[in-house]
């Protein structure tokens, strides 16, 4: 019975079967996000203000267009999860296209090589956004189609991928880093498959041309509306070398959060298999009948491809002032995982064709991470709803508070997550806390859900300045917040509860 099952897994998949595999895998991964139904980050303000020109001012004009089209409105109305569900078939087609690009006759185990593009734990941070998430999926699909597009004419091979990359950048600029990383995988694949050096170099030149065309077109279109200053270059007294080294170290530290006691052995075996696959490739290159200079050039090219791919993971944030290290900026980590799976597949295939099925284990591990993340979202949503309702009850039930016309929400001094319901999970999976990097209760717009349209946000410094030479009157003292009156203005000062977030009692 097991032998027959493995034979089926190694059997080439037809187009419909390939689509079905990715459709099931995709639905499983995004199901926890849909089930949680948790407005994340900028979602709440966008619901209230309907997006307006926020995306266009960030050089993401197509994001605004697609949101309006999906909502059948001139503004970006909230129709979640419809945009996500509409993007999933496009993602399925893109993953199937990339699988056929990598493998001539893909089987089920070959699909496991491509799935990390979606199953990356950091990609959950993209999917968490109900407005931006679906369009980030579309941006990723544009990048994949730019990689897999084939035509005999160089002009079309340059223009079509270039336009796809412009669309990707107009949806989410970080996806260009994904394109660079996937190009590195293309280079490594060429070396692994024994392609001659001239063809590999021509392929690299073609990819550079595609990216150059995309950057030029993007600059003269969507970038003209760019109004953010987050792209200014960093200034560091110790020099660029020390700055970049420190930032790369921080990136490695964050990625290391994915390795826990529960998956350490799995990740170690996956790493050993990937290194073995790379070693087999290098041995094959050195033993090939190519000229010595060509063999050495391939080895150097392999090292450069890995280096560029690693740098593409953090990408532009390495050199800009705003070192916003979050899960969205690490989108290209998924490409490194794809490369690791690709070479692990090669090494395991040398042992036995069925051994490649071991790659399904880390995929299930990442799927488990997605479901754990979904439960954390539910716990965060429940606690925040409870706090908002408590504040809403005080504002509506106390006569002295009803007389105040304007309230300002002040964030807590400590923004750490305090979730007793899932404290154990966050300790076992520290990457979950990194992905859920925001305490959403700090957004005043959430109070509109409770029926209050007179609550706005202010910084803690502005609150401290307002208390100078005044006599604040504490009207409510709660575990999670204080409500203070200064003159005719009310301040809702959020607090992080003291002590551990772990549940006190034990079985």
The predicted pLDDT at position 438 comes to 63
Q: Can you tell me the mean pLDDT for 384-397? A: 91
Do 99 and 248 belong to one domain?
Answer: yes
Number of compact structural domains in the chain:
2
CA distance 215 to 357: 40
Tokens, residue 126: 């993209």
Q: What is the DSSP string of 406-468?
A: EEEEE--S------GGGHHHHHH-HHHHHHS---GGG-GGGGGTTT--SEEE--HHHHHHHTT
The predicted pLDDT at position 75 comes to 77
Q: Please identify, among 304, 322, 351, the residue that sits at the C-terminal boundary of a domain.
A: 351
Residue 358 lies in a domain: no
> 40 or 92: which carries more pLDDT confidence?
92
Do 95 and 190 belong to one domain?
Answer: yes
Do 342 and 377 belong to one domain?
Answer: no
The predicted pLDDT at position 440 comes to 63
> 475 or 506: which carries more pLDDT confidence?
475
The predicted pLDDT at position 315 comes to 87
Is residue 166 within 8 A of residue 221, CB to CB? The reply is yes
> 4 or 441: which carries more pLDDT confidence?
441
Do 145 and 294 belong to one domain?
Answer: yes
Do 253 and 327 belong to one domain?
Answer: yes
> 39 or 186: which carries more pLDDT confidence?
186
Do 310 and 420 belong to one domain?
Answer: no
Nearest CA to 18 out of 116, 120, 106, 117 is that of 106
Do 309 and 412 belong to one domain?
Answer: no
- Residue span of the structural domain in which 300 resides: 11-351
Least confident of 75-84, 305-314, 330-339, 493-502: 493-502
Taking the model in full, what pTM does it have?
A: 0.93
Vertex 259 angle, CA 255 and 265, to 5°: 140
Do 305 and 428 belong to one domain?
Answer: no
Average pLDDT for the chain = 88
Is residue 366 within 8 A of residue 121, CB to CB? The reply is yes
Least confident of 131-140, 374-383, 432-441: 432-441
Is pLDDT of 389 > 80? yes
Least confident of 87-101, 224-238, 278-292, 439-453: 224-238
CA distance 167 to 180: 16
Is pLDDT of 35 > 60? yes
Alpha helices in 193-332 (DSSP H): 197-220, 240-255, 264-287, 292-312
Residue 60 lies in a domain: yes
Is pLDDT of 1 > 50? no
Is residue 117 within 8 A of residue 366, CB to CB? The reply is no
Do 192 and 130 belong to one domain?
Answer: yes
pLDDT digits (tens, 9 = 90+) for 409-458: 998 887 777 888 888 898 899 999 899 876 667 788 888 888 888 898 88
Query: Which residues, at least 6 apart from 480, have a Cβ–Cβ distance to it below 8 Å?
Result: 387, 390, 494, 495, 497
Is residue 185 within 8 A of residue 200, CB to CB? The reply is no
Q: Can you tell me the mean pLDDT for 351-376? A: 93
pLDDT digits (tens, 9 = 90+) for 42-55: 888 888 776 556 77
Residue 90 lies in a domain: yes
Residue 229 lies in a domain: yes
Residue 501 lies in a domain: no
> 35 or 505: which carries more pLDDT confidence?
35
CA distance 267 to 272: 9
Q: Please identify, among 319, 351, 383, the residue that sits at the C-terminal boundary of a domain.
A: 351
The predicted pLDDT at position 439 comes to 64
Q: Can you tell me the mean pLDDT for 281-289? A: 91
Q: Within 13 Å, how many C-alpha atoms sit on residue 373's CB side? A: 32
Torsion, CA 184, CA 114, CA 109, CA 305, rounded to 10: 10
Residue 454 lies in a domain: yes
Q: Can you tell me the mean pLDDT for 493-502? A: 78
The predicted pLDDT at position 55 comes to 78
The predicted pLDDT at position 3 comes to 52
Query: How far lies 279's CA from each of 15, 31, 200, 286, in Å?
Result: 33, 38, 20, 11
Q: Can you tell me the mean pLDDT for 216-220? A: 92
Least confident of 238-242, 317-321, 340-344: 238-242
Residue 36 lies in a domain: yes
Do 149 and 201 belong to one domain?
Answer: yes
Torsion, CA 118, CA 120, CA 125, CA 131, rounded to 10: 0
pLDDT digits (tens, 9 = 90+) for 318-332: 888 777 788 888 999
Do 343 and 403 belong to one domain?
Answer: no
Q: Please identify, among 351, 382, 402, the residue that sits at the C-terminal boundary of a domain.
A: 351
> 497 or 154: which carries more pLDDT confidence?
154
CA distance 149 to 157: 7
Is pLDDT of 353 > 90? no
Residue 507 lies in a domain: no
The predicted pLDDT at position 72 comes to 84
DSSP 497: P
The pLDDT-based confidence of 2 (bands split at 50, 70, 90) is low
CA distance 421 to 233: 42
Do 135 and 279 belong to one domain?
Answer: yes
pLDDT digits (tens, 9 = 90+) for 14-25: 899 999 999 999
């Amino acid at each position: 019975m097991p032998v027959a099952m493995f034979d089926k897994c190694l059997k080439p998949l037809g187009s419909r079967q390939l689509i079905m595999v990715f459709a099931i895998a995709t639905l499983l991964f995004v199901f926890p996000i849909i089930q949680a139904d948790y407005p994340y980050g900028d979602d709440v303000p966008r619901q209230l203000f309907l997006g307006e020109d926020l995306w266009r001012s960030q050089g993401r004009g197509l994001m605004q267009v697609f949101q309006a089209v999906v909502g059948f409105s001139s503004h970006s109305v909230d129709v979640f999860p419809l945009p996500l569900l509409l993007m999933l078939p496009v993602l399925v087609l893109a993953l199937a296209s990339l699988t056929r690009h990598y493998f001539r006759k893909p089987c089920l185990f070959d699909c496991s090589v491509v799935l990390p593009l979606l199953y990356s734990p950091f990609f959950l941070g993209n999917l968490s956004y109900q407005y931006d998430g679906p369009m980030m999926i579309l941006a990723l699909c544009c990048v994949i189609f730019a990689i897999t597009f084939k035509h005999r004419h160089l002009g079309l091979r340059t223009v079509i991928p270039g336009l796809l990359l412009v669309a990707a950048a107009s949806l989410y600029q970080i996806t260009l880093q994904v394109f660079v990383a996937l190009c590195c995988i293309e280079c490594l694949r060429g070396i692994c498959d024994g392609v001659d050096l001239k063809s590999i170099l021509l392929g690299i030149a073609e990819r550079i041309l595609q990216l150059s065309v995309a950057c030029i077109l993007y600059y003269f279109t969507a970038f003209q509306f760019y109004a953010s200053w987050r792209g200014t270059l960093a200034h560091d007294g110790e020099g660029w070398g020390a700055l970049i080294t420190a930032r790369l170290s921080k990136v490695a530290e964050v990625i290391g959060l994915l390795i826990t006691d529960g998956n350490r052995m799995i990740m170690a075996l996956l790493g050993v298999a990937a290194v073995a696959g790379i070693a087999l490739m290098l041995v094959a290159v050195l033993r090939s009948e190519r000229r010595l200079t060509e063999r050495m050039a391939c080895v150097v090219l392999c090292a450069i491809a890995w280096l560029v791919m690693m740098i593409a993971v953090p990408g532009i944030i390495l050199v800009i002032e705003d070192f916003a290290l979050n899960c969205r900026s690490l989108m290209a980590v998924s490409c490194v995982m794809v490369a690791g799976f690709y070479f692990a597949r090669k090494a395991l295939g040398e042992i036995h064709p069925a051994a490649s099925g071991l790659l399904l284990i880390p995929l299930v591990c990442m799927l488990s991470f997605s479901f754990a993340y979904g439960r954390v979202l539910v716990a965060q949503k429940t606690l925040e709803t409870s706090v908002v309702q408590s504040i809403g009850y005080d504002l509506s039930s106390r006569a002295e508070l009803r007389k105040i016309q304007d309230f300002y929400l002040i964030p807590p001094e400590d923004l750490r997550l305090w979730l007793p319901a899932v404290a154990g999970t966050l300790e076992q999976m520290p990457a979950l806390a990194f992905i859920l990097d925001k305490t959403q209760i700090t957004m005043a717009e959430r109070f509109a859900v409770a029926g209050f349209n007179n609550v706005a946000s202010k910084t803690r410094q502005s609150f401290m300045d307002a208390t100078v030479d005044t006599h604040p009157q504490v009207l409510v003292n709660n575990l999670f917040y204080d409500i203070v009156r200064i003159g005719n203005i009310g301040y809702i000062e959020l607090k992080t509860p003291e002590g551990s977030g772990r549940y006190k009692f034990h079985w």
